[in-house]
Structure 1
Amino acid sequence: MQNEGPYFREAGAGPGVVCLHSNASSSSQWRGLMDQLSGRFRVLAPDALGAGKSPAWPAGRVVSLRDEVALLEPVLATAGEPFFLVGHSYGASVALVAALAQPGRVRAMALYEPTLFSLLEQEAPGGEAAHGIRAAAADAASAIDAGDPAAAARRFIDYWMAPGAWDRMPEARQATIAASMVNVRGWASALFGDPTPLQVFRSLDMPVLYMTGARSPASSRGVARLLTEALPKVTVRVFPDLGHMGPVTHPAVVNDEIARFLAQH
């Protein structure tokens, strides 16, 4: 995909670490981690397509996770090789696809609940594990069509964080998330439509820290079940009190785990 490069934040010096954020978020998600790592690492946190200050989601065409990786290429090149990849949710899915494309560039990965729902569809088309997120994405897209981005955001956030989470959120944060929901169909298409078979992930021989929350929805826990069996050098960390949005709701806990992992590799 031909496009201008993404906006990205940068801090520190040392081995490169590229941090990829979740849907309905931006590079600002990683400010705390950047502060924590910048004494030892060169940390780069880009905005994904349609997020923050990066180019808008292109109209009239299907966007894949590979397109997201292509957009990131200037950031990956700036990081130097080999670099670390850190990702949450959609960003963790992009990190996995980037690692498959050029595994020799990646030193290690720290991932919090990749949302590669295509793997659930491969295992059981239309199956129960993906039903909740499929319905949430469809409802959110219908709300966007009806001109109600706040309703779309409520459906999306309450699915990932628990009912009532949207109403408890500060208004300024609500406005940012609601504005991002115009991309919800694109997010779902990229995640459900990724063609990578599960067995391909067995070729990723770099160390992977795979973090999950015990309170997360069945969809992301289902993806974790598949990927943690496939990845050959995986370390699994389950946070008993966290959900899918753990890196946002409890950044210190998750960031400490990431920092320990990077220091070991």
Structure 2
Amino acid sequence: MICESRGSIDYHETGTGPTVVLVPGSCSSGAAWRPVMAHWPNRFRCVTTSLLGYGGTAERRTSGNADIAHESEIIEAVIRRAGGPVHLVGHSFGGLAALAVALRRRVPLLSVTIAEAPAMEILREAGEMRHYEAFRTMSATYSDAFKRGKTNAIARMIDFYGGAGTFAAWPQRVRDYAIETTPANLLDWESAYGFRLTPTLLATVAVPTLVLWGKDSHPAVTRANNMLGHYIPDAVCATMAGAAHFMIATHPQPFADLVAHHIGQSSLAAAAAR
């Protein structure tokens, strides 16, 4: 745990080797990475954390003050504690937060992996309104249902990402945690919509980047991540066969293999440049 004046930040590390900082998505904590880490026995020093409002990481956002910079700051604190430079890996909203860290350039990064990021603002910027509105309709319907007292309103968001019936198929404890952390997730969406992404901004990413998404993911998510890969200089794009949004739980081995390969290639390129 990292203790700061604005609250605690989850921090846990295990293993030896190059340092990989793993940032989970919404409704989750650093424990979500265990299936992936199980495929890296003693290959990497794995550092996990949780986003604001999840796990042991204290919330520091409020509605109207949910700038994604708040997420960047906690990830940067984790990287400093880890003693960077590091390979940064983020899934879902954690992937969007990892992108924000790469754009800020306040901590040393060796590579970045962005998986299934809700990067809807690049869709709006590019005029991809059909896909952008898919995000908007889902999040507005979900938020309105929660305000009307629907305690399981978050199921709409989960099923948007994973397909109809995904939420119902989750274990009860996982559903309960998603319901419990709904207020934090609504702030996540506010953060994402407030994070303006443009081709010009993405062109400033100066670290080897892997962007990946599931072949069975929602078309809006697929398109948003495809555009990230297009506009980030020299980004490597990968589509994971048979996987949808929750790939780190459903397809941990191919995910682990893709990330390990990216880290290896990034390390080789850095060594050649020295």
Runs (4 or more) in structure 1 with deviation over 6 Å come to none
**Partner of residue 173, structure 1:** 174
Q: Which runs of no fewer than 5 residues in structure 2 stay unpaired?
A: 268-274
d(CA) in 2 for partners of 1:231 and 1:177? 32
**Partner of residue 109, structure 1:** 112
Alignment of 1:89-108 (within 5 A): 89-102=92-105, 105-108=108-111
Measured after TM superposition, the shift of residue 6 of structure 1 is 0.9
Change over 3 Å in CA distance of 1:223–1:29 after alignment to 2: same
Work out which of the residue numbers 6, 9, 14 in structure 1 matches 2:9.
6
Matched, 1:254 2:264: no
Check conservation: 2:121, 2:132, Cα contact below 8 A: no
Work out which of the residue numbers 122, 125, 128 in structure 2 matches 1:122.
125
**Partner of residue 216, structure 1:** 217
**Partner of residue 136, structure 1:** 138
Amino acid at match of 2:141: D
Alignment of 1:153-192 (within 5 A): 153-192=154-193
Residue 39 of structure 1 aligns to a residue whose secondary structure is: coil
**Partner of residue 21, structure 1:** 24
**Partner of residue 78, structure 2:** 75
Give the TM-score normalised by the residue count of structure 2: 0.88
- Deviation string for 1:16-40 (max 9, x for gaps)? 2111111122111111333433513
Residue 118 of structure 2 aligns to a residue whose secondary structure is: coil
Amino acid at match of 2:55: G
**Partner of residue 49, structure 2:** 46
Amino acid at match of 1:257: L
Task: Give the fraction of aligned pairs with identical amino acids, expressed as a percent.
Answer: 22
- Deviation string for 1:191-249 (max 9, x for gaps)? 11113422222122321121111211122112123211111121111123111221222
- Deviation string for 1:105-159 (max 9, x for gaps)? 110112212212111122228x111222211111221222122221x12111111
d(CA) in 2 for partners of 1:169 and 1:101? 36
d(CA) in 2 for partners of 1:191 and 1:38? 34
Work out which of the residue numbers 14, 29, 33 in structure 2 matches 1:30.
33
Amino acid at match of 2:130: E
Amino acid at match of 1:239: M
Q: Which runs of no fewer than 5 residues in structure 1 stay unpaired?
A: none
d(CA) in 2 for partners of 1:27 and 1:178? 18
Measured after TM superposition, the shift of residue 183 of structure 1 is 2.5
